[in-house]
Amino acid sequence: MKSPLPNICDLTHASYTRKWVTLSILIGIAAGLGSIVFYWSLTTATQLLLGLVAGYVPPTSTGEGATVFTGVARPWILPILTAAGGLLSGLIVFHFAPEAEGHGTDAAIDAFHNKGGAIRRRVPIVKAVASAITIGSGGSAGREGPTAQIAAGIASALADLFHLADSDRRIAVATGIGAGIGSIFKAPLGGAILSMEVLYRRDFEYEALLPSFIASVVGYSIFASWSGWAPVLGSGIVPPFSRAYELISYSLLGLVCGLVGIAYGRSFYYLRDLFRSAGIPNWIKPAIGGLMVGLIGVFLPQVLGTSYGWLQFAINGDFIALPATIMLAVVVFKILTTGLTIGSGGSGGVFAPGLVIGGMVGGFLWNCLHSFPAITPSSPSAFVIVGMMALFGGIAKVPLAVIIMVSEMTMDYTLLIPSMLACSIAYFVTGDNYIYEKQVNVRAQSPAHRHDYSLMLLKSLKVREAMISNAPIIGPSSTLDEVTQLLERYEVHAVPVVDEGRMVGIVAKQDALRCICEDHPPAKVTDIMSGNLIVTYPDESLFDAMNKMIVNHISQLPVVERNNPDQILGLLALDDVTRMQCTENDS
C-alpha cells in the first residue's frame, strides 16, 4: 500500500527546484534587460562624446557594426573629453555609491565572500551611468565588469525580496555575475562557467553552475533578440588546428601571455595604489587619470574605449590598418591606460582590456614567428584568439571560462587543443599574480564557507585529540571547599567524582557555586553531585561531542571507555573544541 505521506527528500528536492528555477529565470531576465540598457547607454555615450565632440567613431567588432577606422577629426580635444568624463564619473560614483568605482566584477566577488552577497540597491544604476560616461568619453575599460555588477546587484535585490538566507543570496550574486557577462558577450556557456570559476583562484563554486545555466540562457536570449544573434567577433575566420608541430609556437604564446599578464596585473594595482595614496579628493582622481589617457589617445587612439574594433582588425589579419608596431604599442599602452582609467577610480571592467592585450600579443608574436611556417599557423587569427584566451585566462584565474567564452564570441571551437595548452602555461606562469584581488584561493579560505568547513573539520577530529587527560577527580566524601579549590586551581567547569576507581557522578561548577550561596550548604560531594552522567568517548567525533554539550546545556563532558563506562579517561570542555577548531583552521 502506498504511503499517503510524500517522501521528505522529494519535498526538499521539489522545493529547491522551484526556488532556483524561478530565481534563475528572474535573474536571467534582469541580466538580459540590464545588458540591453547598459549597452544602449554605452553606445549612445560613445556616439555623443567621442563621435560628436571629438569626431572619432571607434571601429567595432564584426558582430556589432562596422570595422572601419575613419580617423580622429579633433584629436586635440581628446584629453579634455576624457578628463571631463572622468570628473563626471568620479562625482557620480563617490557621491552616490563609492563601491561602484573600479572594475565591477571584483566588487561583486567581494560581496560574495565578505558581505553575504549584499549589494546596495543604488549600485547597479550608479555603475551603469558612471561606466557609460567613463568608456563613452574614451576611458580604457571594458563593459563586462559593469554588466556583472549590475546583474549581481539586481540578483541580490531579488534574493532580499524573496527573504532568502545569506547562502542563497551569495549564489544568486554569483549567478548574476555569470548571466550578465554571458549576456553582453553573447557567450552563455562561458558566462555560466565563469560564475563558478571567477570567485576563486584554484577552486569552483559548483552550487552556482545549474542556476547560472538557466540564467545565462535566459539573459543571452533576451539580449540577442534585441542586438542580433551574430557572435561578437564574427564566425568562420579561424582555420582548424591540424598540425601538432604548431603546439611549439602555441606554447611560446602561452609563456609570453603569462609574462605580459603579470605586467598587466602588477601595473594595474601599482597605479591603483599610487592614486589611492595621493592626497587629493577621490572624485578628482578619475579626471587626472582620464587626462593622461586622453593625452596618450591623441597619438594612439587604438587604446581608447573598449578597443574591440581594433581587436577585430588583428583577428582579420588586416596589418595595413593595424601594423605589428601598432600592435606592440597597444599592448604597452593599453596596460597603462587601463590602469589610469580604472585605477584612478573610474568605472569600467578589466575583462575587455585583458582580451585586447592578449589578442595584440598574439598578433605581434605571429608577425615575429610566421617566417617559421613549420611551427606557426598560417593565419594570424588563430594566434590572436588563443592569445586573448591565454592572457586573461591566466591572470584572471579563469582559463576554462575564457576558453569557452572566446570560442562562443567567434563561434569557433577548432582551437580548443592549442587554447588548452596556452592557457595552462599562462595560468602556471602567472602563479600568485592576479587581476581580481578579491578572489580567494580555495573555498575553505572564503568567509562564505567558513561555517561549512568548520563542521566538516569537527566531524573529522576525534575527542582524544582535544581532551584533557590529567583531569582532576574527587572522592564522594570530599567537602564542598575541596571541590571549589579544584575548580579554581584547574580552571575547569566540572569535576568527576570517583569512588574506588569507578566514576559515580560529576560536580558542575554552577552547582558548587549555588550551594555556596545557600545559608546551610551541604558538607559532602555526594549531596551535590549529579549521577545522571552524559559522557563521550575517545573515538567519538568532536562534532557529536559538541552536540551533546549544546543539547544538554553543559560545557564539559567526562571521557570514558566504550567498553568500561565507569573508567574516567579525561575531560572534554567546549573551550577545548573551539581551541582545536581554531588551531586546525590556522594550520
Compute the CA torsion angle 535, 536, 537, 541 (nearest 10 deg). 170
Residue at 42 is within a domain: yes
Question: Are residues 371 and 513 located together in one domain of the fold?
Answer: no
Tens digit of each residue's pLDDT, the chain (587 residues):
344 444 544 545 667 778 899 999 999 999 999 999 999 999 999 999 999 999 999 999 998 888 888 889 999 999 999 999 999 999 999 999 998 888 889 999 999 999 999 999 999 999 999 999 999 999 999 998 899 999 999 999 999 999 888 989 999 999 999 999 999 999 999 999 999 999 999 999 989 999 999 999 999 999 999 999 999 998 888 888 889 999 999 999 999 999 999 999 999 999 999 999 999 999 999 999 999 999 999 999 999 999 999 999 999 999 999 999 999 999 999 999 999 999 999 999 999 999 999 999 999 999 999 999 999 998 899 999 999 999 999 999 999 999 999 999 988 888 999 999 999 999 999 999 999 999 999 887 888 877 666 667 778 888 888 888 877 888 888 887 787 788 777 777 788 888 877 888 888 777 777 776 665 566 677 777 877 888 899 999 888 888 888 888 788 888 888 888 888 888 888 777 777 766 655 55
Instruction: For 571, list phi and psi in degrees, rounded to 5.
Output: -125, 145
Helix (H) or strand (E) holding 581: helix 574-586
Domain CATH code at residue 541? 3.10.580.10
Identify whether residues 409 and 497 lie together within a single domain. no
- All 3 cell numbers of residue 408? 562562443
Tell me the CATH number at 193.
Answer: 1.10.3080.10
Task: Say what the pLDDT of residue 344 is.
Answer: 95
Domain presence at residue 145: yes
The amino acid that residue 256 corresponds to is V
Pair (148, 233) in one structural domain: yes
Q: By the 8 A CB rule, do 445 and 585 touch?
A: no
Q: What grid cell was written down for 10?
A: 522529494
- Contact between 461 and 584 under an 8 Å Cβ cutoff? The reply is yes
387, 421, 449 - which closes a domain:
449
Q: What's the Rg (C-alpha) of the chain? A: 31
Same domain? For 197 and 270 the reply is: yes
Residue 525, in any domain of the structure = yes
Q: How far apart are CA 345 and CA 506, in angstroms?
A: 64
Q: How far is CA 151 from CA 107, 286, 408, in A?
A: 12, 24, 20
Structurally, how many domains does the chain consist of? Answer: 2
Widest Cα–Cα separation across the chain? 103
3-class SS of residue 512: helix
Instruction: Check whether residue 327 and residue 285 sit in a common domain.
Output: yes
Of the CA atoms within 13 Å of residue 74, those in its CB half-sphere come to 12
- Give Cα 299 distance to the centre of its chain: 36
User: Given phi > 0 = left and psi -120 to 50 = alpha, else beta, which region is 436?
Assistant: beta
Q: Do residues 293 and 364 make contact, with C-beta atoms less than 8 angstroms apart?
A: no
| Model pTM score | 0.81
Q: Which domain holds residue 524?
A: 461-586
3-class secondary structure, 277: helix
- CB distance 312 to 306 below 8 Å: no
pLDDT in the model for residue 5: 47
Same-domain status, 445 and 465: no
93 Cβ contact partners less than 8 Å away, ≥ 6 residues apart: 100, 101, 126, 130, 283, 286, 345, 347
Place of cell 553606445: 43
Cell matching residue 563: 567498553
pLDDT given at position 505: 85
pLDDT at 454: 65
Residues 473, 396 share a domain: no
Domain-ending residue, one of 388, 421, 449: 449
pLDDT of residue 213: 95
* Residue type at 211 in one-letter notation: P
Angle between helices 8-46 and 144-161 (to 10 degrees): 140
Which ranges of 47-165 does DSSP label H, i.e. alpha helix? 78-96, 104-114, 123-136, 144-161
In a domain, 285, yes or no: yes
Q: Does residue 456 lie in a domain region?
A: no
Distance CA 444, CA 454 (A): 9
Residues 122 and 264 occupy one common structural domain: yes
**Euclidean distance between CA atoms 391 and 410, whole angstroms:** 17
Name the grid cell of 142: 571594458
Q: Among 417, 449, 481, identify where a domain stops.
A: 449
Query: Are residues 80 and 153 both part of a single domain?
Result: yes
Q: Is 195 a domain residue?
A: yes
Q: Which three cell numbers stand for residue 96?
A: 552616490
For the chain, the residue count is: 587
Q: Which pLDDT score is estimated for 2?
A: 44
Other beta carbons less than 10 A from residue 134's beta carbon = 34
Can you give the three-state secondary structure of 359-395, one letter per residue? HHHHHHHHHHHCCCCCCCCCCHHHHHHHHHHHHHHHH
- 3-state SS assignment for residue 525: helix
Residue 454 included in any domain: no
- Does residue 1 form part of some domain? no
- Looking at the structure, tell me whether residues 122 and 200 fall in a common domain: yes
What angle separates helix 209-227 from helix 188-197, to the nearest 10 degrees? 140
Helix, coil or strand: residue 273:
helix
Same domain as 503, residue 422: no
Distance in angstroms between the alpha carbons of the first and the last residue of the chain: 55
Q: Are 494 and 370 in a shared domain?
A: no
Structural contact between residues 128 and 141, judged by C-beta atoms closer than 8 angstroms: no
pLDDT value of position 1: 39
Question: Is the Cβ–Cβ distance between 493 and 571 less than 8 Å?
Answer: no
